[in-house]
Chains A and B, each alone.
Chain A
């Protein structure tokens, strides 16, 4: 069935290092893909979205490229900051007014 698989659990990095959070999906649709970021005790916020194959989309220093051939939409940043510590969700629009979310990846950035 339809699903989203993310980098499991916790990713810890030192400030200034690059990060890549993996996201792969399985769906019979040609979906829109999203990344949401949720800081502690806050609501999730939309970070990136894409439906265009092989086109890089960027926002707030984060970027991702949808690759339909490999069903992937990995999130990257070249230099993480302390403020990037948060829970990150990959999701896709599976139609019928439903977003399917991955389990989430916690990114923890240390000084």
Chain B
């Protein structure tokens, strides 16, 4: 049973556009939601995270929007750059328990 779902599986946008990556979850006890960025040949690295007490978290061009009622969140990447091309993983956990990972969204930014 997949508890964290990501869509789309892959996404292509033009440089300068806003990329929107979606994530949904099933367990209402999840309260920590990190997004990890992975470049080819490398391990994932934490990009940005949000806790369920907030509905928005911003870090430069990256913003998480969180809807607790619908159990959905999204990662918005504004002014997309070719260097943002990577796979993005949404994950979720309850307090100190292990992370549950989505299957990832492969983002391609066309110059």
Interaction A to B: no
List the interface of chain A (C-beta within 8 A of B). Answer: none
List the interface of chain B (C-beta within 8 A of A). Answer: none
